[in-house]
Amino acid sequence: MQLPSATTLPRKVVVTGSASGIGLAVTASLLEAEAGVVGIDIAGSPDLTGGYEHIRGDLSTFGGIAAVMAELRGRRCDALVHCAGIMRTDANADIAQSMGEALWALHVVAPQRLCELLLPTMPDRVGRVVVLSSRASAGRAGRALYAASKGGSEALVRSMALTVMARGITVNAIAPGPVRTAQTTDPNRADAAVALPPMGRLIVPQEIAATVLFLLSDAAGAITGQTLVQCGGLSLAPPSTATPQRG
């Protein structure tokens, strides 16, 4: 798939969750397109070349969000891509004890605060925001707090899109199905096995990154306030109908 050229993409992009998974794939694709990236992640800087700058921070706590905002304050960027996220079931001990505070902070408060900080100086008709949600936002048994936090991120996207619509800045969400990342083998989600979608394989991060880059490009300038479901067919049939991919 041919990616949008560098001339149609924002020149400076803030990417959260940039050290692994979808965030790393988005960051690598942007760097390949010669865009500059300010990456934010709880982990250390990934091994990347080109115009990459790393901020280490924890967006799952209110204090961590404030610290990252202090690092970003005064900087100008053209776009924000919020990829940072975690999946936890309602049975997870930490989530049960905190009543889902980390999920809400990471999936709703962090992108809202980052938008509030960065949108005022984004250029009109060029600025872009893309937030990674999840197909689980439609509801999943045993994952009520996670699903609610992802549903909250989609409501946030619609609200922010209305806020900046007159400036020609777009705000959209992508709701993936199961993606082949470290999250799918995270021991903290051992009680929530990953099922193959009906297409018979997991989505790869580069496929989500290609969609992100499209939404960042000027070709997507008339799309705003939307959630694009990229789920490998889960919206059409339950995972139990999947035929594993051969070869």
Give the DSSP letter of residue 219: G
Q: Which of 17, 35, 87, 146 is catalytic?
A: 146
Reading the block at residue 70, the tokens are 């202090």
Alpha carbons 202 and 60: distance in angstroms, whole number: 26
Closest CA to 120 of 82, 72, 155: 72
Q: Are 58 and 107 in contact (CB under 8 A)?
A: no
Give the DSSP letter of residue 155: H
Closest CA to 160 of 204, 197, 111, 203: 111
- Cα distances from 241 to residues 25, 170, 234, 235, in angstroms, run 29, 36, 10, 12
What is the number of residues in the chain? Answer: 247
Question: Catalytic site residue 52?
Answer: no
246 three-class SS: coil
- Per the listing, tokens 């199905």 go with 177
Residues taking part in catalysis: 146
